[in-house]
Chains A and B, each alone.
Chain A
Amino acid sequence: MSLVGKPLALQINGQQINVDNVPEDVCMADFLHEYVNLTGTRVTCGQGICHACVVILDHPDGKNETIRTCITGAHLFAGKRIRTIEGHAVGDPNSVEMKLTQVQEAFLKNYSFQCSYCTPGFVNESIVLLEQLKRQPIARKDVEQVIIDALDSHLCRCTGYVRYYEALRQLIVSTPGLIKE
């Protein structure tokens, strides 16, 4: 097997990124860290189990999904649009004026994390869930199970999941348009 470098172009957090020479065997997490200096994506297990490293892949049809970047090659994202943890809050990250997303606010309010290593993955997964519920609202009785299904694959070793779960539950039931009457 001989692998060579080649150009990689994609859209990250709304910005077009073009890199001239990226080895074919570089995983997406390393590409984000080493080539575009987006270090918020966390690599924990490095083998696709913990889901801390997921980013959001936005499809042309408006749907999206999370993808594990530690086990997925960077070139697989060529020509695609992704969002990373750095792309959600609005404003200068060094300013108190920076506006967090509802998900991030909910996690802070509920003390959902301690070490925070898993948090980018939980944030991205939760945003995908909220956007899915905006497109397809669900019955109130299904909320808890939908949250469990969405977050089930994410590992956290600090807070025992309950605080992430509760934050997201509160957010979903209090946000108009996510639940069918």
Chain B
Amino acid sequence: MLHVWKGKYFALWLVVGLILQGCHGNVPDNAGSVVSTPADAASIARGEYLANAADCISCHSVPGKGAFSGGYAIDTPYGPIYGPNITPDKETGIGHYTRDDLYRVLHDGRRPDGSPLYPAMPYTSYQGMSRADSDAIYDYLMSRPAIRHANIPSGMHFPYNIRSVMFVWQWLFMPSADETLPDGSSAEWRRGAYLANALAHCTECHTPRTMTGALDTAARFKGAMIGRYEAPDITPAALAQRGWTERDLASLLATGIAPQGSAYADMFPAVHNSTRYLTREDTASLVRYLGGPAGLPAPTHITPVNIPQVALQRGWHSYASLCASCHGAQGEGRPHVAPALQGNASLRLTSPNNLLVAMLDGVEAQHISTLENMQAMPGMPNFVSDQEVADLANVLRTQWGGVPSQVSAATVRKLR
């Protein structure tokens, strides 16, 4: 899954890092760890499952270049960074890694030579991963074909390209493993916590970040902006407010589709490459954890919100002209084409941002499985005015989402 490390106040601790630049030579060099023992088939199979759950492939692969061979670009405000080759190739990949080395990467955010990783690699979450799971992932990765594919150097701008600065960041802002694995009341709930906070690292996108770019663990799962989209608030109350049930959440994670809509934007590859491979039990655990110790509250029913008749007519007019062909005259959706809009969770978000961005930018086709697709949604034609887009958003949100909505033309203009 795409991870975004987008703290706006990197400079605050960067200064400290530059001062401590001379400390680089004093940092323990973790190279030269123990020789790995051969893997067995069971460990490799388990590692494959765990690597899927951890969604390694999304950030370490480019379509057509070979799985795990790296090259995926992650844009950060500090410059692009590219997922490295993690195939067993000894020169360009991780063929020289030991199990200890991989565990150190995942747990400490350190390369074998001791240098720190940028937190675009979600080690702040993976540090909660068990040693056994790390080793199984190692066994799986080492069983893969070695692909010779040179890594692309990160394009971080000065002074962010001074990697040793990350020592300071890790020292100051990396949460402890204890914080990332809160206690639960049952084994199922604890398993869900492990998946959400460590292995499947839901928290990386759905938790806001502090000024330093670190996860704001006090606001875990309260939602965060990822590029132009908001990774929604997935705390129990917010999920219930948007109509989610445990069953529907499980459906979304397992298939990408639920009555509340389909996975799109960065959530689609997360489902496609990761969550759909979870066992039924793990999906249930994850959903149970997200629902909170007391269970997910009953979903909020949709009650249309009154808006002026003129605005209503304008909005429905735009809907008929622009949306109804695929989403249906009554917002019922069309199987294998477009999700229903009646009760769609994206309409019910507190912020209209995701709806507006989807309307303006369009949504890429979602090839979910052999028999299931959602077709590409075209972006809003330029000749449709900002006011028309605003009217459309307001009608959809108030009538089919049941939330107040006062989107203005100015808001739409800013997002164009």
What is the bound-complex CA distance between A72 and B329, given in angstroms? Answer: 13
Q: 1/0 contact trace for A45-80 toward B, CB 8 Å?
A: 011110000000101000001011011111110001
Which of B329, B375, B376, B383 contacts A80, CB < 8 Å?
B383
Q: 1/0 contact trace for A20-54 toward B, CB 8 Å?
A: 00001101000000000000000000111100000
Shortest distance from the beta carbon of B376 to any chain A beta carbon, whole Å: 7
Shortest distance from the beta carbon of B282 to any chain A beta carbon, whole Å: 35
* Cβ-closest chain B residue relative to A46: B325
Query: Tally of A-B residue pairs with Cβ under 8 A?
Result: 60
Shortest distance from the beta carbon of B367 to any chain A beta carbon, whole Å: 13
B24 on the interface (CB 8 Å rule)?
no
Name the segment of B103-111, B181-189, B225-233, B315-323 touching the other chain.
B315-323
A1 on the interface (CB 8 Å rule)?
yes
Which of B316, B317, B378 contacts A71, CB < 8 Å?
B378
A115 on the interface (CB 8 Å rule)?
no
Given contacts A47-B334, A80-B383, contact A24 B326 (CB under 8 A): no
A-B contact pairs, 27 of them (CB 8 A): A1-B330, A2-B316, A3-B320, A24-B316, A24-B317, A24-B320, A25-B320, A27-B325, A47-B326, A47-B338, A48-B326, A48-B376, A49-B376, A57-B383, A65-B382, A67-B381, A68-B378, A71-B322, A71-B326, A71-B378, A72-B321, A72-B381, A75-B317, A75-B321, A76-B321, A76-B322, A76-B381
Return the 9 tightest CB-CB contacts between A and B, nearest first: A73-B321, A71-B325, A25-B320, A76-B321, A1-B316, A24-B320, A47-B337, A47-B326, A73-B320
What is the bound-complex CA distance between A47 and B323, given in angstroms? Answer: 10
Does A47 contact B322, Cβ atoms closer than 8 Å?
A: no
What is the bound-complex CA distance between A73 and B316, given in angstroms? Answer: 12
Shortest distance from the beta carbon of A126 to any chain B beta carbon, whole Å: 20
What is the bound-complex CA distance between A67 and B321, given in angstroms? Answer: 13
B324 on the interface (CB 8 Å rule)?
yes
Q: In the complex, which range does the number of interface residues on chain A fall in?
A: 20 to 34
B-contacting residues of A (Cβ < 8 Å)? 1-3, 24-25, 27, 46-49, 57, 59, 65, 67-68, 70-76, 80
- Could you say which residues of chain A place their CB within 8 Å of the CB of B338? 47
- Could you say which residues of chain A place their CB within 8 Å of the CB of B376? 48-49
- Could you say which residues of chain A place their CB within 8 Å of the CB of B330? 1
B384 on the interface (CB 8 Å rule)?
yes
- Could you say which residues of chain B place their CB within 8 Å of the CB of A73? 320-322, 324
- Could you say which residues of chain B place their CB within 8 Å of the CB of A71? 322, 325-326, 378
Q: 1/0 contact trace for B246-265 toward A, CB 8 Å?
A: 00000000000000000000
Given contacts A47-B337, A67-B381, A73-B320, contact A1 B329 (CB under 8 A): yes
Which of B317, B319, B325 contacts A47, CB < 8 Å?
B325
